[in-house]
Homo-oligomer: A and B are copies of this chain.
Amino acid sequence: MQLAEAKEKFIQEWGTLGSKWGINRTMAQVHALLLISPESLSADDIMGTLNISRGNANMNLRALIDWGLVKKEHKSGERREYFYAEKDIWEVAQQVIVERRKRELKPVLKVLEEVKEVESGGDEIELKAFVDSVGDLSKVINQADKFLEVVVKADRNWFFNTLIKMFDRSVKS
C-alpha cells in the first residue's frame, strides 16, 4: 500500500471509530490527520486535505483544542496559525479519559445519587427494584470511575506493568 492510500484509510477509519463513540466524525478525522503529520498544519492545509469548509475546520479545531488534544503554534514571520496534535498516545488517552469523566461520568453519577433518594410511597416491590438497580449501577460506575482516576494519575510504566501482572494472574488461575 502506498503512503497516501494508507493515510486516507487511517483517517477514514479513525473518523468511523469516533462516530461510533459519540465523537463527531470530522473532529476525529482532523485529529487523525494531525496525528500522522510530522509538521503542524494550517487551517487551509486541513480544509484542503479533508475537503471541508473553513467554518467546519475551525469549529472542529477549537473542539480538539478544548479537549486538550491539539495545540496552536504561531510560526515566526508567518501570520496564520498552525495546529499540531499531542503525539504521545498515552497522553492522548489520559486526556480523553479526563474529559469524558468530567463531561459524562460525573453528571450521571450525580443524577444516580439524586434518584436513589426516592421516597418510599406506594408499591414497595417497585421501589426496591428501582433502588437496587440504581444502587448496583452506581456501584459499578463508581468503580469504573475510580479505576479511570488511577489511570490518569498513573505513571505509564507502573500502569502497564500492573496490567501485565493482572493478565498473568488471570491466565494462571
A residues contacting B by CB (< 8 A) are 1-3, 6-7, 9-10, 13, 17, 19-22, 35-38, 87-90, 93, 103-104, 107-108, 111-112, 114-115, 117-119, 121-123, 125-130, 132-134, 136-137, 139-140, 143, 146-147, 150, 153-154, 158, 160, 162-163, 166-167, 169-170, 173
A112 to B173 alpha-carbon distance, docked (Å): 32
A90 to B19 alpha-carbon distance, docked (Å): 26
CB distance from A133 to the nearest CB of B (A): 5
The answer to whether A121 and B163 touch across the interface, beta carbons within 8 angstroms, is: no
List, sorted by A's number, 22 A–B pairs whose CB atoms are closer than 8 Å: A1-B118, A3-B119, A7-B130, A9-B114, A9-B115, A10-B112, A10-B130, A10-B134, A13-B111, A17-B108, A35-B133, A36-B129, A36-B134, A38-B125, A38-B126, A89-B136, A143-B163, A146-B163, A153-B170, A154-B170, A158-B170, A162-B169
